Amino acid sequence: MAPKMKTREEEAATMEEDRLTNLPDDLKNRILSSLDLKEAVQTSVLSKSWVSTWTRIPVLKFQIPGLSSVEAFDEFVNKVFTLRDESAPLKRLSYERWGPCRPELLKKAFDFALTHSVQELKVEIDIAEDFSWPICLDVPSDSVTSLVLTSTMYNIGCPFLGSGSFKNLISLHLDGPIITDLESFTGFQSLESLTLLNYQIKTEGKILRVKAPNLATLVISSHYNESFNCCELTTPNLKIFAYEGSEFPRIQTHEALSVFDTLAIGFRGMDRMNEKRKFDDLMALFCVFHNARFVPLFFPMIALLTFYEDEMVKRISPFEKLNHLLLHFKGHQGWSADECSRIASNLKDYFLHNSPDAKFTMVNPDVDDDDV
């Protein structure tokens, strides 16, 4: 009997399967890594050669969108972990879970990442059941270079800090951490970027100590009234310090900041009963970072400085070698253009006293950016 001839549709399907089969593995991985993880798993039906391709992709990103329920999400995560090719390198793991979060599954995600030499680990949740990130301190990781941990509803303990669990960590981003150990940020030899958001500082004396010889960027911000009494920095290579809060912290530097570049301070409102103290704290902060090259000042701080302008000009100008001073008047409380210009001119003369050739930019919300 003569073999059955393929229809035109069957021949086209065969050719398409051949093309998919013959794609290089690197290209397959790049394609799958760009897809939603659920879609990547579904490519197993494309052809025989794609059945297990998704189990070797270098990026795993778990998210609720695209899954019908939190139960389906949990089942999907377990399936991926179970079927994953153990020999395939894993570069990045992202675990985003809103709503109820089973602690055993969260711990499984951390354990999986740390035992599979993940380089970038990102976990975002609403709340952990025991109020502590379940990172096993007995499993130190030499592979993790970037760690992002976010809790959106409650602050969460970070017992792994100061344990030496992440020897080669370059970037650390913590949103909602509870800091209890005075030495939490001491000994991060490779750390270059540290971000602390919406924190609780529960160390003795409410001191935040950061000892990181390679740290270049430090960002500290909280939407709450949480603050700390003192921040001790042993960060000789610090280039950028950004802070936002309702108080200005006291800063101690234990090594000269010889390469320091940018000081960005955000201030949320004023308590008129304490505004003189806050003015003094702000001026003290400026003096600590006296060698800053670029300083942007926004309206709340401009207003605070203006309230005590007579007191300010009696003090020595804090900055020694500014390259650029920016004054941003967005949100000003009904000041006229002439008033803004007068205030800007006075602040310019004061802060650029030691750097008369520095660039000065005034941003008036009513007009385009304008160099003064």
- Compute the half-sphere exposure of residue 264: CA atoms within 13 Å on the CB side of its CA: 12
pLDDT value of residue 292: 96
Looking at the chain, the number of H-run helices and the number of E-run strands are: 9, 20
- Closest by CA position to 252, among listed 275, 235, 274, 273: 235
Tell me if the pTM is above 0.85.
Answer: yes
DSSP code string of 132-144? B----TTS-BSS-
pLDDT given at position 365: 62
Tokens at residue 289, please? 């970072």
Vertex 121 angle, CA 58 and 240, to 5°: 120
Q: How far apart are CA 161 and CA 201, in angstroms?
A: 13
Integer Cα distance of 228 and 271 in angstroms:
18
What are the backbone dihedrals phi and psi of residue 127, each rounded to the nearest 5 degrees, phi first?
-160, 145
Report which of 48, 45, 53 is spatially closest to residue 85, judged by C-alpha positions: 53
State how far the Cα of 123 lies from the Cα of 77, in Å rounded to an integer.
Answer: 14
The per-residue pLDDT for 338 is: 87
**For residue 68, what are its two tokens?**
């019908």
Per-residue pLDDT for the chain (372 aa), expressed as one digit of tens each? 545 555 545 444 444 444 556 666 677 667 767 767 777 777 666 666 677 778 888 899 888 765 667 788 888 889 989 998 888 889 999 998 877 778 888 889 999 998 888 999 999 988 766 688 988 767 668 899 999 999 988 889 998 887 777 889 999 999 999 999 888 888 788 999 999 999 999 988 899 999 999 999 999 998 776 678 899 999 999 999 999 988 888 999 988 888 999 999 988 765 666 889 999 999 999 999 999 999 999 988 999 999 999 999 999 999 999 999 999 988 766 788 888 899 999 999 999 999 999 999 998 765 444 444
| CB-CB contact of 369 with 326 (8 Å) | no
Quick one: three-class SS letters along 74-121?
HHHHHHHHHHCCCCCCCCEEEEEECCCCCHHHHHHHHHHHHHCCCCEE
| HSE value, Cβ hemisphere, 13 Å, CA-based, for 156 | 24
> Residue type at 164?
G
Task: Kindly state the DSSP code that residue 4 receives in the 8-state scheme.
Answer: P
Enumerate residues 6+ apart whose C-beta is below 8 A from 296: 264, 326, 328
In sequence order, the β-bridge partners of residue 265 are: 243
Give the pLDDT score at 97.
84
In whole angstroms, give the CA distance from residue 279 to residue 268: 13
Q: Are 322 and 295 in contact (CB under 8 A)?
A: yes
